[in-house]
Amino acid sequence: MHGTYTAFAGQCRLASGTAGDVALAVKRATQPLDHPIIIFDDGTGRSIDFDLRGDDREVLARLAQLMPPAETAEAPSEPRGRGRPKLGVVAREVTLLPRHWEWLNARPGGASVALRKLVEEARRASGDKDRERQARDAAYRFMSAMAGDLPQFEEASRALFADDRRRFTGLIADWPADIRDHIVKLAYSDRA
């Protein structure tokens, strides 16, 4: 869900989608609203502010400057050194014990190749768990902001962190539908 945003006006979902879609929907919400509008980054569950001044073209241009697509994002301007900058390889310092360096240097390709392989293997091995943790954390951040004063919040939080989906959804069943549905979407949409 990275790259998607959701705006709420009080307990009601106003819009969901890309940054541009949500920003323009919020900008067009001209009728007097009883509640302030809060925009959330669905990937993190954190609230985010969009600068909605000017016409639609100006709003979208500012958003494009703040959130460039990943494939066009420029690499940080650091002095070029060793490594393979065209591949995105960045030289950084790693501190290890001498026995670790000995083991790494004895691997085919040397320490750098061995470290890259170890990192990729660890990422593959823990990828699902990492995504579940990130989804749970995003759901909790959103839940804290929007439902922190609702009944059974503490028990629901415990069930969320215990990964007890049945108990969790039961505890939040009476919460406002848009908030409840969004929490479940953030927490469990990546899992079947």
pLDDT at position 84 is 61
Backbone φ and ψ of 152, nearest 5°: 65, 25
58 pLDDT exceeds 70?
yes
Q: pTM (2 decimals)?
A: 0.71
- Residue range 157-173: average pLDDT? 96
Q: Are 160 and 143 in contact (CB under 8 A)?
A: yes
pLDDT for 104: 87
Closest CA to 135 of 153, 158, 161, 155: 161
Mean of the per-residue pLDDT values of the chain? 85
The sign of the torsion formed by the CA atoms of 147, 166, 2, 76 equals positive
Q: pLDDT category, 35, cuts 50, 70, 90?
A: confident
In the chain, where the domains are located: 1-74, 85-119
State residue 129's pLDDT score. Answer: 85
